[in-house]
Chains A and B, each alone.
Chain A
């Protein structure tokens, strides 16, 4: 069964450093998402991406964040200058069509980001 994959599974970085989290969505999917979950809290939407551009972003997704689909298979989330409060589990998801609210989203296993 096709699945969303994410690398790395765990990333440790120093405050102020740039990190890139990588995702490979399911191959025929058209909509891509990033979510985050701070330890002990609920999952929060960060950004959605369709047709090579951001279709929606939350207030969390400020100028420190960016997303890219560099090569038609990978979908990346970059945090330019990490802060302690960026420590969280980051989930990538993808859906086939219709936008996330009308189609099942398939989640990756997550990347745990620890900022020291």
Chain B
């Protein structure tokens, strides 16, 4: 069983729609990361959170530690938001590594 599960795998939206991408994990974590992978392959860190909610521009990330669940929301989506969004967790055990989900491929059509 994967330690990090994302849904949906693929998501197509119309410009302006509100987007939600979900991430569930099965281990105790110290922090959860949301990353964006561009079509060319580069990875950008969007958020790191261990509780509550963070907002940056049109992006909002929330986490519920008790339910081991996080969501990434995009308000007023735009074609330039098209990318793969990846959830990754750091173990509470003290491990250095991040464990990644398979990613959600988002396509926003004009």
Binding site for B on A (CB under 8 A): 31, 33, 35, 37, 41-45, 48, 50, 55-56, 58, 89, 91, 99-107, 109-110, 112
The binding surface of chain B is classed by DSSP as strand
Partner of B96, one of A56, A107, A110: A56
A42-B103 in contact given A48-B97, A58-B97, A101-B98 (Cβ < 8 Å): yes
Chain B residues whose CB sits within 8 angstroms of the CB of A37 once the complex forms: 41
Assess whether B91 is in contact with A110, with CB atoms less than 8 Å apart. no
In the docked arrangement, what's the CA distance between A110 and B101, Å? 18
B100 and A42 contacting across the interface, CB-CB below 8 Å? yes
Interface positions of B (Cβ within 8 A of A): 29-31, 33, 35, 40-45, 48, 86, 88-92, 94-103
* Sampled A-B contacts (24; CB under 8 Å): A31-B96, A33-B97, A41-B102, A42-B101, A42-B103, A43-B43, A45-B98, A48-B96, A50-B96, A56-B95, A99-B90, A99-B94, A100-B90, A100-B97, A101-B29, A101-B92, A101-B94, A101-B95, A103-B48, A105-B45, A105-B98, A107-B35, A109-B41, A110-B42
CA distance A89 to B90 in the complex (A): 21
Return the chain A residue nearest B97 by Cβ. Answer: A45
**Which residues of chain A have C-beta atoms less than 8 A from B30's C-beta?**
101-102
Q: Which residues of A contact B92 (CB under 8 A)?
A: 101
For B33, the chain A residues whose CB sits under 8 A away are 104-105
Kindly state the separation between the CA atoms of A37 and B95 in the bound complex, as whole angstroms: 20
